[in-house]
């Protein structure tokens, strides 16, 4: 729910202008998970290509990809083909069709302002994770 400038959401931690919630930040030299994964996926080793049967110098990323392609070709796992296609073309768009009415079980017009405020506070806390 958007708030107007100057409004503070219930349960929010307020920082002074220019102040961060993590003032020290990440330590210099700390590697992200993506950096570590990239390092290992770029590691080159001699490996038998499961498709050609030849030994080649391949990155770990190539090895994993070829293993998935082999599994998809040989129908070893039903998910292998899906993994390759999702990796190459992206995940298919999923839509949820909904028709009909949703019954909420009460007349929203009869809820008092105090009750609405309580509901708002509860939902804001749930969104923040408190």
d(CA 62, CA 57): 10
Tell me what the mean pLDDT of segment 10-34 comes to.
77
- CA 5: distance to chain centroid? 29
For residue 128, the model assigns a pLDDT of 60
For residue 68, the model assigns a pLDDT of 85
Yes or no: say if 41 and 60 are a contact pair by the CB < 8 Å rule. Answer: yes
The answer for residues whose C-beta is within 8 angstroms of residue 8's C-beta and 6 or more apart is 14
pLDDT per residue as tens digits for the range 53-107: 899 999 999 998 888 888 888 877 778 888 888 887 888 787 877 777 767 676 7
pTM: 0.46
Tell me what the mean pLDDT of segment 106-117 comes to.
80
């Amino acid at each position: 729910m958007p708030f107007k400038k100057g409004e503070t959401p219930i349960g929010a931690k307020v920082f002074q202008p220019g102040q961060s919630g993590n003032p020290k930040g990440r330590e210099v030299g700390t590697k992200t998970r993506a950096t570590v994964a990239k390092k290992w996926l770029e590691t080159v080793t001699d490996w038998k290509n499961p498709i050609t049967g030849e030994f080649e110098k391949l990155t770990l990323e190539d090895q994993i990809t070829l293993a998935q392609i082999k599994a998809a070709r040989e129908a070893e796992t039903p998910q292998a083909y899906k993994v390759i296609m999702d990796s190459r073309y992206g995940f298919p768009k999923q839509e949820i069709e909904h028709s009909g009415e949703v019954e909420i079980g009460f007349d929203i017009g009869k809820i008092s302002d105090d009750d609405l405020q309580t509901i708002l506070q509860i939902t804001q806390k749930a969104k923040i994770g408190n």
